[in-house]
Amino acid sequence: DYVDYLSGSYIPTSNADYIIGQINTMIDAIDAGTAECCGENRPANPGQGTVMETLELEASPNPFREEVSISFYLPEAGPATLEAFNLNGQQVAALHSGYLDAGFQRFSWNGAGEGGQRLSGGVYLIRLQAESGTLTQKVSLMR
């Protein structure tokens, strides 16, 4: 059995059922508030009609090998710094320092230090400082 796909090609029914099941699971999780959709233009929370008002910081994948994506939401525009520190409190990388617009932002870090040197595997702290507050996210670099 095959399911007719919009492009005119076919996918096996079992694959289509799996994909539809995964989509429905994600929709249920978003509706329940246990997951959020993400991206550059993430909508406001359903039913609220307003944009989020708090600072948020996420890093994924975590742990990471090659690169970690650092996403955050700024409730207001202004100066912001995004830095990586080792567990001794030493800054190992400056990822951003400057003005940012309000809204969702995304940066990436390849696990390299200030001079571009490859850092050893271990736990690092990503710190976001903005006018609305300071947040720290622990990330694990696997080598």
Higher local confidence (pLDDT), 3 or 101: 101
Residues 11 and 76 reside in one and the same domain: no
Q: Could you list the residue range(s) of the whole structural domain that residue 106 is in? A: 56-141
Residues 14 and 61 reside in one and the same domain: no
Q: Widest CA span of the chain, in angstroms? A: 59
Higher local confidence (pLDDT), 100 or 53: 100
Residues 82 and 115 reside in one and the same domain: yes
How many Å apart are CA 43 and CA 59, to the nearest integer? 20
Strand order in the sheet with 91-100: 91-100, 78-85, 122-130, 133-141
- pTM score, whole prediction: 0.62
- Note the pLDDT tens digit of each residue in 124-137: 999 999 988 899 99
Residues 13 and 81 reside in one and the same domain: no
Number of domains in the chain: 2
Continuous segment of H or E residues that includes residue 27: helix 13-32
Higher local confidence (pLDDT), 65 or 27: 65
- Note the pLDDT tens digit of each residue in 35-84: 666 654 444 444 443 444 567 789 999 899 999 999 998 888 999 999 99
Task: With respect to residue 39, please indicate whether it lies within any of the assigned structural domains.
Answer: no
DSSP code for 51: -
Task: With respect to residue 38, please indicate whether it lies within any of the assigned structural domains.
Answer: no
Give the residue carrying structure tokens 């994506």: 69
Higher local confidence (pLDDT), 4 or 36: 36
Residues 64 and 99 reside in one and the same domain: yes
Task: With respect to residue 101, please indicate whether it lies within any of the assigned structural domains.
Answer: yes
Task: With respect to residue 122, please indicate whether it lies within any of the assigned structural domains.
Answer: yes
Task: With respect to residue 21, please indicate whether it lies within any of the assigned structural domains.
Answer: yes
